[in-house]
């Protein structure tokens, strides 16, 4: 066989990248919270997508990678932008202004559940073993334990904002499934293409809705926007599109469960917070759930690649 399709990297590398993605996107909630203090949501997300897209375009040119120019691929970039950035990011930027952090985290961490059931009901593009369903349930149980079941007491109070946060999670689920269609492209190509397509939608909207030339954003909001664009968007998107191809849709969206324990760890290390026994149990559930959704069964993989086995993989 021609070596144009090299063997994928080890699962340890992919899980390390999953952890990095969860860290980058987990930190984005803080940056968004600081940013929307003086920058309206639409303008914040428009600037985020534009800065990240242009940065990736510069890096691609430096690496000698070109964006596809055919209309079909750009239509896919546009759809990906709507599902993965334009709609959910604007929703989150709006909802995070009125929701408690714990409740918003729980609601937005449900994307693996929607990915699982969308895959099961519609696309069926990857095997959904019972262990993945177990992983979905274990991860969600862990989130509730870590944040505290009492956080759900607010469910129904800011109903519109809560529904918006859940709709954003559904968008992420659709994006993870749709993103598999970019197989064969360098991960930077769909990342840059979808971000630039998203900016093309959001910038005119920002000009009409927010009139950004009239704004006076604080230095803190501007710095948060810059960090959000460079690290939690440009770098994160490159990792994301790689993982969609290596870990699959359900496995990649498992990073949503990792955002909460990462936030808890940061609080313990840097803020001197303490964890209850219930929170430690939740962290164990999250790790178990992510492992169930991402680590492949060795026997199944070995059989699929066994040249002596006459059955079709």
Encoding tokens for residue 270?
Answer: 């840097």
Q: What is the pLDDT of residues 196-233, one digit of tens each?
A: 999 999 999 999 999 999 999 999 999 999 999 999 99
**pTM higher than 0.85 for the full model?**
no
| Tens-digit pLDDT profile for residues 116-127 | 778 777 766 556
Instruction: Return the domain boundaries, the chain.
Output: 11-128+155-253
CA of 142: how far to CAs of 121, 138, 239, 265, 278, in Å?
25, 6, 25, 14, 9
**Rounded Cα gap, residues 69 and 73, in angstroms:** 7
User: Which string of b and e fits 198-213 if b means at least 16 CB within 10 Å?
Assistant: bbbbbbeebeeebebe
**Of the segments 148-152, 236-240, 257-261, which one has the largest average pLDDT value?**
236-240
pLDDT at 295: 66
Secondary structure (3-state) at 313: coil
By the 8 A CB rule, do 99 and 162 touch?
Answer: yes
In sequence order, the 6+-apart residues with CB closer than 8 A to the CB of 107 are 99, 162, 165, 166, 169
- Write out pLDDT tens, residues 60-72: 999 898 898 899 8
State the CB neighbour count (10 A cutoff) for residue 114: 20
């Amino acid at each position: 066989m021609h070596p144009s399709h090299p063997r994928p990297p080890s699962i340890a590398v992919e899980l390390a990248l999953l952890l990095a993605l969860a860290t980058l996107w987990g930190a984005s909630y803080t940056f968004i919270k600081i940013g929307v203090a003086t920058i309206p949501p639409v303008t914040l997300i428009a600037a985020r997508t534009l800065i990240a897209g242009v940065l990736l375009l510069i890096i691609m040119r430096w690496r000698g990678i070109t964006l596809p120019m055919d209309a079909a691929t750009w239509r896919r970039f546009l759809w990906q932008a709507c599902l993965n950035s334009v709609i959910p990011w604007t929703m989150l930027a709006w909802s995070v202004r009125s929701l408690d952090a714990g409740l918003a985290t729980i609601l937005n961490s449900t994307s693996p559940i929607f990915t699982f059931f969308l895959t099961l009901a519609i696309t069926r593009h990857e095997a959904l073993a019972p262990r993945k369903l177990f992983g979905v349930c274990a991860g969600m149980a862990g989130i509730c334990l870590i944040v505290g079941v009492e956080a759900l007491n607010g469910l129904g109070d800011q109903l519109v904002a809560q529904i918006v946060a859940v709709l954003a999670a559904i968008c992420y689920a659709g994006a993870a499934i749709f993103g598999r269609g970019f197989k064969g492209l360098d991960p930077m190509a769909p990342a840059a293409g979808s971000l630039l397509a998203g900016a093309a939608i959001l910038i005119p909207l920002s000009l009409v809705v927010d009139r950004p030339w009239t704004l006076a954003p604080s230095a803190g909001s501007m710095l948060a926007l810059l960090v959000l664009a460079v690290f939690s968007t440009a770098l994160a998107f490159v990792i994301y599109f790689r993982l969609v191809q290596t870990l699959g849709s359900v496995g990649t969206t498992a990073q949503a469960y990792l955002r909460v324990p990462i936030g808890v760890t940061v609080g313990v290390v840097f803020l001197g917070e303490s964890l209850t026994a219930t929170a430690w149990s939740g962290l164990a559930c999250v790790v178990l759930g992510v492992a169930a959704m991402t680590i492949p069964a060795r026997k199944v993989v070995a059989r699929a690649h066994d040249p002596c086995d006459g059955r079709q993989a």
